[in-house]
Structure 1
Amino acid sequence: MIREFLRLALVVTGCLPAHAVIAKDITFEMVYMNHTNMIVAEGDITGDTPEIFEAFLQTEPFDGFRFVMALHSDGGSLVGGLRLGQMIREAGLDTTVQRHPLDPATGKPGYDTAAGRCFSACAIAFLGGVRRTVPEKSRLGFHQFSSAGGSFAKEDSVYMTESTAQLMGATVLGYIMKMGAEPDLFTWLSEALPHEMWEPDQDERTALRIVTPDRFRGFAFEPYGAGVITWSALPENVAGRSAVGQVTAYCKERVPYILLSSVSSANGVDPRTRQMIAEELSGWRMDNEATGQSASYGRDAVAIRMEDGLPLAELKLDGQGVELLKGGPVLIAVDFPAVIGAMFYLRTDPTEADRASLDAAFRLCIR
């Protein structure tokens, strides 16, 4: 539906914020970095932007583990933004909002970064990223699109304008849902007039899945044996060498544990790799990223699941670890050489409801 409509909607453009000054049409430049290549995209999004990006994809060599498009744009054509977002998703790129100032020595975007902005049609394109982040101080803004195409004063164009607006609204909503954001995003952006700008804060970006969640939350608990378990899934945590997509907490024989699992057999870890991990691991640790508190455990506190299934590793905790896990944003990582080709790590930031679920899971024992 989206692709067919875009061929007909060339008159539809996203409005720019009143303060915007577009310096140039969007350009794409590659910055090669360790394991991550940045595609620096800066300038105005136009109807020609998708073709420009397609030419860039055909001519620019890609040879990294991960590709991220760094967007810095005041917006432009909504149709161009929608098509660019689709192409970003089809190419499997991540997106972020940041600038790469020019390197004086080369005149090209350099390694240094600065806060960026991504408004209007740019924010729509941003949603195409497989993983989406907005660094601190960078700005992301949405608003209504305008479908009049310059015909505000022409009575004979009203029917076409309204008809286009209805179809475009359905297209934008469908695109938002396809890209994994919450449908409520369409309601919020529709409340900002074309000359206004709604800039969601971090909590709103997370709740509406504008940015990709990177922390396990929303723990659900359920009966198991004579006790309960609580678990949280985050498929987005599975990418590259990161294999953990679910974490489960429970108490077994009066000892607290957490189980790290993948989310599908396609994202699992083969038996040979599991054997290498079991031989090379040195333990695991938990770090509270807010307070700096940490807890470390030896290799005897890690049981690598050797079967070729979803469970990956069972980690044994103590009272200190339980309190750290419940207390705030923590990073959990099993220690083994990265050269093995897999990584067992996760971040969690429990809500009050999550803490209650974890309390229940660790209070009762599975028998």
Structure 2
Amino acid sequence: MNTVAAGPEFVVERAEGVWLWDTAGDRYLDGTSSLWYCNVGHGRTEIADAVHRQITALDAYTVYGDFSNRPARELSERLAAHAPVDDAKVILTCGGGESIETATKLARRYWDVLGQPQRTHLISRTGGYHGLHGFGSSIIGMERFRAGYGPLVEDTSVVPHDSAAALEAEILRVGPDRVAAFFAEPVIGAGGVFPPTENYFAEVARICRRYGVLFVVDSVICGFARMGNWFGIERFGVSPDMIVFAKGVSSGYLPLGGVVTSGRIADPFWNEPGNPFLHGTTYAGHPACCAAAMANLDILEREDLFTVALEVERHLDSALRTLADHPLVAEVRSGVGVMGAVELTREALVDRGITTAEVFAEARARGVILRPVPTALLVSPPLVIAWEQIDHLVSTLAGALDAVAARH
């Protein structure tokens, strides 16, 4: 906040496709899909038209109790039909953070109604990002987002992101009869773009089944074609108990998220009396948001952005790997999904005092938006990006690295 207060602010005026314009009229390549979400690109008038049609018919109304609306029903049925979850049910929310709150509370409540109220422990992974609400901050795998707030939610722990054996060891340390759920992103996104090791998720799914731990996939970043499929986790051939989604479901045109649960998780609430799940938000199931999502999913399917994303993934991977020999670069992580990370060397960060924020600022001054995290620059462009635009993104990043290196 102090840095922003020093000004001036970077004010985005309009956007179209993969491009942004600021109030001065300067154009920038959106190399991050805003915050990982604008999968179909900016300025899709068909989404705006769908929202207009819906909002003039029914602006909004609660979906509490037995209240519903047609867009919410149609969207839930459509998502359930594509989810790699047995007998899928859908709970709608307004975004990823709310969806994590829903999934964490549902995991604990599920065991409570099954007569195992001691199963409250939640396990997540280093680098995992699960939003910044109460439960999300408590299971996030990055300490900087947890520090300074006093006690958070109890009964949580974090294991190394690349070790299924570490997960099993932690379940045994805590006690299988106390562990409610394990949370994992298909590819760790905001924590630095770390794809899973080979057979990681197959082993994780086996461990969770063995000890009765609920397996919850956080697909907020990875879903809706960013990994070439609906929810990202399909790439690894496993079926979780719950999937958390948001971002790409509406490409960010309006706020929307949710949780897909298996029929097994829904059953004690849906089919047995006396087990309410007293949780929800005012705008969940908002008809205009659901209409935006339906139009967005139409685009994903009509333009087959699932197949396109796999082609973009390959070209982005090839282009980013040309940076691997740059003297400031320690590692390039890419090739699983339309996302990547360019990690800076310890020598650059520590000995030379270079910051990723400095590289970010240099790239932005040259017309490309990236996302800096403490040790890396992240990219996650819209899926509609063209080959020459990918090359422009990477060559601009290379130029920014060169300029920063020269200053130090």
* Structure ranking higher on relative contact order (CA contacts 8 Å, 6+ apart): 2
Structure 2 length-normalised TM: 0.22
Q: Which has the higher helix share?
A: 2
Structure 1 length-normalised TM: 0.24
Q: Which has the higher strand share?
A: 1
Structure of larger gyration radius: 1
